[in-house]
Homo-oligomer: A and B are copies of this chain.
Amino acid sequence: MTQDSLQELTLRLRQFASERDWDRFHSPKNLAMALTGEAGELAAEFQWLTESESQELDPERLIRVQQEAADVLLYLIRLSDKLRFDLLEVANQKIELNARKYPADQVRGSARKYTEY
C-alpha cells in the first residue's frame, strides 16, 4: 500500500517542506543535527528506567516514544532525500555487511564482544 511506504513519506515530507518554504533550512548538516536532537529526546524517555521497565512502558510514555521515534525517521528520510540515496537499499546492504562481519556460528555464546555494529 503506497500510502505507508517510505517512498510515499519522502514525497509527503518534500511537499511539506516546500509548502512552508523550509527547504532552505534543510541542508544535510542541519538535518543530521536535528536528528541528534530527536535521538536525544528519545533516549531521555528511557534514561532512568531499568531495562526491564523499558520493555513495559506506561501508555503516556509509549506515545511519547513513538512520537520521538517518528521524528527520527522523518529527519532520516529528509536526509536521504536531500543526499539522493535509497534508505532501504543502504539498510539492506548494511545487514549483509553485518552478517559477514558477525557470522552467527562464531558469535553465538560469546555475544558480548561482537555486539557493537
User: A47, B33: Cβ atoms under 8 Å?
Assistant: yes
> How many of these chains are in the complex?
4
User: B115, A4: Cβ atoms under 8 Å?
Assistant: no
User: A109, B21: Cβ atoms under 8 Å?
Assistant: yes
Chain B residue nearest to A99 (CB atoms) is B16
Q: Mark A2-46, 1 if CB is under 8 A from B, else 0.
A: 011110010011001001111011011110111111111111111
Give me the interface of A with B, judged by CB distance under 8 Å: 3-6, 9, 12-13, 16, 19-22, 24-25, 27-30, 32-55, 57, 62, 65-67, 69-74, 76-77, 79-80, 82-83, 85, 87-95, 97-99, 102, 104, 107-109, 111-112, 114-117
4 closest A-B pairs by CB:
A40-B40, A37-B44, A29-B54, A39-B39
